[in-house]
Amino acid sequence: MNTSKTFTENEIATIVVDAALKIHKQLGSGLMESAYQKVMMIELAKRGLSVESEVPIPVIFEGNQIDSGFRADIVVENKVILELKAIQRNNYVHKQQLLSYLKLSNLKLGLVINFGSQLIKDGINRVVNGLEED
């Protein structure tokens, strides 16, 4: 859905967290990541956000683009990367991976959302790359 409103990174994050709470409340944990990804895409589009899935993240080294196979699970409004998980507990490496994606794409905010957490609030991690608070 294309909207005329321009969202800040923090506004997007607020909408995403609310959507994640709704999805986790209705579906719980235990599904595969791909199911949560599809549901998240539907829910964010319903809320008026533009979303893309499996967005390639190129690696540029000394002017050469390297075919790395990195893909962001979801990119919202071309501003925020969502890395979705469905595992027992969050892992430090997932935040580091997301930070790398942010740096490679020149984006400033990402969220790791682990739908496998018993409480979704414990499964959401904010990762920033030079974002100034608004």
Q: HSE-up of 54 (CA within 13 Å, CB side)? A: 4
Report field, pTM of the whole predicted structure over 0.85: yes
Residue 1 pLDDT > 60: no
For the 9-128 domain, the top CATH level (class) is alpha beta
Report the chain's mean pLDDT, rounded to a whole number.
Answer: 91
CA distances from 121 to 13, 48, 113 (A): 13, 23, 9
Closest alpha carbon to 114 in 1, 8, 11, 23: 23
Question: Which tens digit of pLDDT belongs to each residue from 17-68?
Answer: 999 999 999 999 989 999 999 999 999 999 999 999 999 998 888 888 887 7
